[in-house]
Amino acid sequence: MEQHLGGGYAQVWSDQQVLADLDGRTVAQALESGEPPKRVWRAVWAALELPASDR
């Protein structure tokens, strides 16, 4: 995320952006609740519409 959003904004985004693919949770909430990082990254990847090479 830092590579695409920058260090400061990546943290803010992960704390505030609610993602439907994470059952209406933020990245931070999903990780804190034990969601596998791979699932979280896939949700972030889709939300940010990142290139396939970053998947």
pLDDT of 55 strictly over 80: no
Give residue 22's pLDDT: 97
The tens digit of pLDDT for each residue in 10-28 reads 899 999 999 999 999 999 9
The tens digit of pLDDT for each residue in 19-54 reads 999 999 999 999 999 999 999 999 999 999 988 887
Please give the model's pTM, rounded to 2 decimal places.
Answer: 0.83
List all residues 6 or more positions away from 13 whose beta carbon is below 8 Å from its beta carbon: 1, 5, 27
HEC per residue, the chain:
CHHHHCHHHHHHHHHHCEEHHHCCEEHHHHHHCCCCHHHHHHHHHHHHCCCHHHC
Give residue 32's pLDDT: 97
Structure tokens at 33: 């609740």
Question: Domain limits of the chain?
Answer: 2-50
